[in-house]
Amino acid sequence: MADSATARRSRITPEREAELYEAVLDLLREVGYDALTMDAVAARTRSSKATLYRQWGGKAELVVRAVRHTKPGPVDGIDTGSLRGDLHALVARDDDCTIERNSALMRGVAMAMHNNPDLRREFRDQLIEPEMAEFRRVIQRAVDRGEVRPDCPALDFLLHMMVGGFATRALLDDQPPTRAFLTSYLDAVVLPALGVATP
Amino acid sequence: MADSATARRSRITPEREAELYEAVLDLLREVGYDALTMDAVAARTRSSKATLYRQWGGKAELVVRAVRHTKPGPVDGIDTGSLRGDLHALVARDDDCTIERNSALMRGVAMAMHNNPDLRREFRDQLIEPEMAEFRRVIQRAVDRGEVRPDCPALDFLLHMMVGGFATRALLDDQPPTRAFLTSYLDAVVLPALGVATP
């Protein structure tokens, strides 16, 4: 990452950065986004507020960076030769315990973003877009292989399909999306919509 | 409706009920769910708080009933002979202006439900379930006609597909779902997932 936030953070060690993100996530789980203050983060991590603002710019950026820190790395290694294989491998990166923990965090942040335009922008730019970019790379390879037609109408709705599968269960069913659930959803909805036959 | 809430409300006229719901929706738009109080509703509508509690039971039920009041009636009249025709007709019940207004209300309530188990239950039982029941009736007719296979795996994910289409745009794109958008989504995602060919 060569963005400005990384440049600003360059003077702290990766270990200190990870420690700080863990403290932010603990606070987020304890009090939620709206009640989380930079004062509390500063106290919990024995930092100065000035340092936090200088390094991250603000609460929205700090919280989203902390959530992003929990995500698995990029999927450059995934290339199974079929779209179904790649999508299943994407979902299999996390175990159910990690999915559940991340899902609770994402939900808390997603709920708070309704009243926070800053948070909404950070959430979209730092969490949704990187995930979707990976997803789109996997799909593009399927288009290049001829597995998915380049004019398939579902290509315009990748984000909507994925949010439907990943978020609906957490929001309405009060259940985290398990790997088994996500795999079934990919086979039942996403692959058929993309015109890929599933067994 | 022959449920207990209706029985409890039976002594007020439909006009007065509609007037009260309008006031609740105005307050909801002005201050949001969390800051909305029964005191404010009572003052705005010149009711006593005791009456409000007796008639509706609580804030969550009152707010969800008010939002539900804005929804179009049941779709018993819709029966075009094809699943695609029925789904398009479902979406066409509302004009874009109504969709936008309802979408903002639904979003506000959906966001608040994260921290409110009562609201979450009311939201699911009074808003999501009735919509999904109509939707399922339309799909069941398609199964009965032989348009959709009864063992089609996407039948388990109707709610997830619909939430993906209706909510993602509002949550992440800051745009209400228009009729044109919803129609495209039905054709590109929902119908192909159900194994129904679209032009």
Residues of B with Cβ-Cβ distance to A157 under 8 angstroms = 164-165, 184-185, 188-189
Q: Does A175 touch chain B (CB under 8 A)?
A: no
Spell out the alpha helix ranges (H) of A92-128: 96-112, 117-122
Question: From the list A108, A114, A164, which residue is nearest B161 (CB)?
Answer: A164
| C-alpha to C-alpha distance for B120 and A49, rounded to whole angstroms | 36
Closest residue by Cα to residue A175 from A129, A111, A107: A107
Asked if B128 reaches chain A (Cβ–Cβ under 8 Å), the answer is yes
Q: Binning pLDDT at 50, 70 and 90, where does residue A83 land?
A: very high
Question: What's the whole-number mean pLDDT along residues B93-113?
Answer: 76
Cβ of A31 under 8 Å from any chain B Cβ? no
Q: What percent of chain B has pLDDT over 90?
A: 44
Closest Cα partner for B129 from B71, B187, B195, B81?
B71
Domains and CATH numbers, chain B: 2-68 (1.10.357.10), 71-193 (1.10.357.10)
> Which residue is closest to A154 within chain B, CA to CA?
B188
pLDDT tens digits, A4-62? 555 555 578 889 999 999 999 989 888 888 889 999 999 999 999 999 999 999 999 99
Residue B19 to residues B25, B44, B106, B137, B156, Cα–Cα distance (Å): 10, 11, 19, 32, 39
Note whether B160 contacts A185, CB cutoff 8 Å.
yes
B30 burial type by CB count under 10 A (0-12 exposed, 13-18 middle, 19+ buried): exposed
Query: Are the C-beta atoms of residues B178 and A143 closer than 8 Å to each other?
Result: no
Which has the higher per-residue pLDDT, A191 or A102?
A191
Within 10 Å of residue B139's Cβ, how many Cβ atoms?
22
Give A 59-98 residues with CB within 8 A of chain B.
none
Among partner residues B108, B157, B187, which is closest to A185 by beta-carbon distance? B157
Which pTM was predicted?
0.81
A144 with A81: CB under 8 angstroms?
no
Q: What is the ipTM of this complex?
A: 0.79
Q: List, for residues B65-83, the tens digit of each pLDDT value.
A: 998 888 766 666 788 999 9
